[in-house]
Amino acid sequence: MHTLKLDKHDKRDLILAKGAAVMMRRGYHGTGVQEIVQAAGIPKGSFYHYFASKEDFALAALASIYQPRLQRYAQALSNADKAPLARILDYYRDLQAYFSQPQGVQCHCFIGSLSFEMSEAVPAIGEHVAAVLDESVRLLAACLREAQQQGALAAEEDCDNLALFIANAWQGVLTRLKVGNDLAPLNAFVLRLERLLQP
């Protein structure tokens, strides 16, 4: 019987995936390197082969989780088969459907957890979190401006401000989900978004 050997990129990805899942549940301070390597099933020395420290791991985990999410967000908000406002509403309705499933409500917001715990203590983490959030607002504002150009939003609407408002409200929803596993804030957010964006 042959043992499957992972190449260095696969092993690094495995550590990131398993370790980030632990850090999402337990928080930055509640997760040590030992918990990360146990979850990944690797010796402790392997961790330091790929990451200089737990802070370095957290930064890499942020990138590995949120770069693909931002790509999916960009794809959803640039789908030419849908009207711009429909793209936004459908994206958040899909998230509503996901979080309404039993496994969805247990999902934790990694970026929210890290920002609460570490943004002040480790400026690099705060900067990375801010960059992710700023990019999501930029993508949303661009979609809103497209809707405005098509006459679906009032000409006087401040699309940058509206995008920031929606993004901040969504972060509040994620915080409430983490605190209470209650879908009411999520449902209220989608309902208000529908009233805000539907003609």
DSSP sequence for 82-128: S-HHHHHHHHHHHHHHHHTSTTTTT---HHHHHHHHHTTT-HHHHHH
Using the predicted structure, report yes or no on whether residue 81 has a pLDDT greater than 90: yes
pLDDT at 118: 66
Using the predicted structure, report yes or no on whether residue 58 has a pLDDT greater than 50: yes
The rounded percent of the chain whose pLDDT value lies above 90 is 52
State the Cα–Cα distance between residues 65 and 61, nearest whole angstrom: 6
Backbone phi and psi for residue 86, each to the nearest 5 degrees, phi listed first: -65, -35
Of 108 and 195, the structure prediction assigns the larger pLDDT to 195
- Cα–Cα distances in angstroms (integers) from residue 120 to residues 43, 51, 56, in the given order: 31, 21, 16
pLDDT at 186: 93
Which pLDDT tens digit goes with each residue over 109-143?
677 666 666 666 677 888 888 898 999 999 999 99
- Cα–Cα distances in angstroms (integers) from residue 38 to residues 54, 124, 180, 193, in the given order: 14, 26, 28, 42
Which pLDDT tens digit goes with each residue over 27-41?
888 889 999 999 999
Whether 26 contacts 35, CB under 8 Å? yes
State the Cα–Cα distance between residues 5 and 64, nearest whole angstrom: 22
Which pairs with CB-CB distance under 8 Å and at least 24 residues apart come from 65-73? 65/20, 65/110, 65/111, 66/111, 66/132, 70/132, 70/135, 70/136, 70/139, 73/136, 73/139
**Can you give the pTM of this predicted structure?**
0.83
pLDDT at 5: 46
Angle subtended at Cα 161 by Cα 157 and Cα 163, rounded to the nearest 5 degrees: 95
pLDDT band at 45 (very low <50, low <70, confident <90, very high): confident
